Amino acid sequence: MPGTERWLPDANTILRYLLGDDADLSAKATEFWEGVREGRRIAFLREAVLLECVYVLQRFYKVPRAAIAERLRGLLAYKGLVAAEQELLDQSLELYGRESLDYIDCLLASSAFRGDGQVFSFDKKLNKLAAGNR
């Protein structure tokens, strides 16, 4: 879209938006992310930013895995959101929401599912999941 703003948001903007825990910052984050949802803004989401969000929501805020997966998968569907390998990120979040593996392990398993290669790990649960192709 000509004239559409393009942004590289950090994890804090996503966290304030999802958590609504700081009146001022959450309001600014909501205004920003609603623009992305509607396609008025283009936001390029980096994989590392998504990983940081998962980590902080799980470790510090104790948000249940299924809720983390649901909210972040919803964000990936925003009209103005662009992410490298968006389908892979979506699938890895779906796995994360239902498995007891770390997010990175779910990302590796998702990569194996689509044929990127075989997982090499000492984690038996990861190896079993990746070999089972879901």
Residue-wise pLDDT for 13-62, tens only, equals 999 999 999 999 999 999 999 999 999 999 999 999 999 999 999 999 99
- How far apart are alpha carbons 34 and 14 in whole angstroms? 11
What is the reported pLDDT for 127? 92
- For residue 104, count CB atoms less than 10 angstroms from its CB and return exposed for 0-12, middle for 13-18, buried for 19 or more: middle
Say which DSSP state 3 is in: T
Sorted by where each starts, the structural domains of the chain and their CATH numbers stand as 5-132 (3.40.50)
Is the pLDDT reported for residue 109 higher than 80? yes
Phi, psi of 77 (to 5 degrees): -85, -5
What is the reported pLDDT for 5? 72
Is the pLDDT reported for residue 2 higher than 50? no
